[in-house]
Amino acid sequence: MAHEDKQAFFIKELQARFDVKLKEQELSIVEYWKSHLDKILTMKPEGIASLQLQIKRISDMMTNRIKILKKE
């Protein structure tokens, strides 16, 4: 019984650490992409075409990152 309690405690502890790490990584990712979008917000585009170009660049960056992650 004590062995099972230790295992359950270890699993709970491991799950808690995993959840914290996952949250930290998600926060990092969201902050990264938000910084790119904030750059667009501060720009003064001369027209819709330049704004679309900036959005396209971010979209391409995301596409490349997705491809890299799928390869790993």
Distance CA 49, CA 26 (A): 31
Render pLDDT for 56-66 as a digit per residue (tens, 0 to 9). 999 999 999 88
Q: Which of 65, 64, 42 is nearest to 54 (CA)?
A: 42
Render pLDDT for 42-55 as a digit per residue (tens, 0 to 9). 888 788 888 888 89
- Residue ranges per structural domain of the chain: 2-71
Regarding predicted confidence, which is higher, 47 or 9? 9
Q: Residue 69's pLDDT band (boundaries 50, 70, 90)?
A: confident
